[in-house]
Structure 1
């Protein structure tokens, strides 16, 4: 298995994985158009041409990025794939010189194992909430906000 930057040819498999969880209410759905427009944000874990999982680093400002859209095929959970994707994304943030990465999740324990700390959602800048406006759970979302300070 390798973790690499996503390519346009990965979009259909990314779309399938992400929207599987979106249908269960576990993450936001992603339209194909959004995936194509933001393909440079995405990474994938791939083996023999099959996408096993995905995640994205979405840069918001000079000092802030979001780790978002982290998803692994359900039958492959707890095999370390998500952790490898997170490690790749955090290394990318470091290479870009981004000092702080945050995530919004229903799985805070997973991110705490990667050095993220729980923070109050309200402490984040307003630009963070652009996706939230379109979410059916807004404003009564129970996602947890976590951040990680990157050693540059």
Structure 2
């Protein structure tokens, strides 16, 4: 199956908002924001001034939008450089195990290498996600044991 990987554009807002619900379902959510609210958030995140994130999209010839890699640049990384931080990598199950995720990871590395001052690509996955861990290991990436992640929900503060 042939796929196209390309940056998101404003014409993708609705499809991205729909895909975000699919991603949430994949992670076990059962309650979702209204579609119009998700659309507004996608538009602000990717096309606001300034944009908060970027996204590469996967399109296939039959199902349309079938995956994404959402990322941002973070500073500082090593010294005064910055890093490309991959926040979400998702491929619809119909395209999994066909090399699409590997293509996305390679494209992210290309984007990072082309950006002056970007010293690395970073991401994380859940310890209880053996599929994702096996995928990254299959690409030759080693797990880094040195970080503990903290999170606070700002709607409760």
**CA–CA distance in 1 between the matches of 2:146 and 2:25?**
24
More strand by share: 1
* Greater RCO, CA 8 A, separation 6+: 1
Count of residue correspondences: 128
Q: Which has the larger radius of gyration?
A: 2
Q: Normalising by structure 1, what TM-score?
A: 0.68
Q: Give unpaired runs (5+ residues) of structure 2.
A: 47-52, 76-80
Judging changes above 3 Å, is the alpha-carbon distance between structure 1 residues 108 and 4 closer, same or farther for their aligned structure 2 residues? same
Q: Normalising by structure 2, what TM-score?
A: 0.66
Q: Tell me, what secondary structure is at the counterpart of 2:105?
A: helix
Judging changes above 3 Å, is the alpha-carbon distance between structure 1 residues 120 and 88 closer, same or farther for their aligned structure 2 residues? same
Q: Any runs of at least 4 consecutive aligned residues in structure 1 with deviations exceeding 3 A, and if so which?
A: 29-34
Q: What is the root-mean-square deviation in Å for CA atoms of aligned residues?
A: 2.9
Q: Tell me, what secondary structure is at the counterpart of 1:9?
A: helix
Q: CA deviation at 1:69?
A: 1.5
Judging changes above 3 Å, is the alpha-carbon distance between structure 1 residues 53 and 120 closer, same or farther for their aligned structure 2 residues? same
1:48-93 per-residue CA deviation (whole Å, 9 max, x = no partner) reads 4811211022111132221121111122221222221121111101
Aligned to 2:141: 116
After TM superposition, the structure 1 = structure 2 runs for residues 24-103 of structure 1, keeping only pairs within 5 Å, are: 24-25=26-27, 31-39=38-46, 41-48=54-61, 50-61=64-75, 62-97=81-116, 98-103=118-123
Equivalent of 2:17 in 15, 18, 37? 15
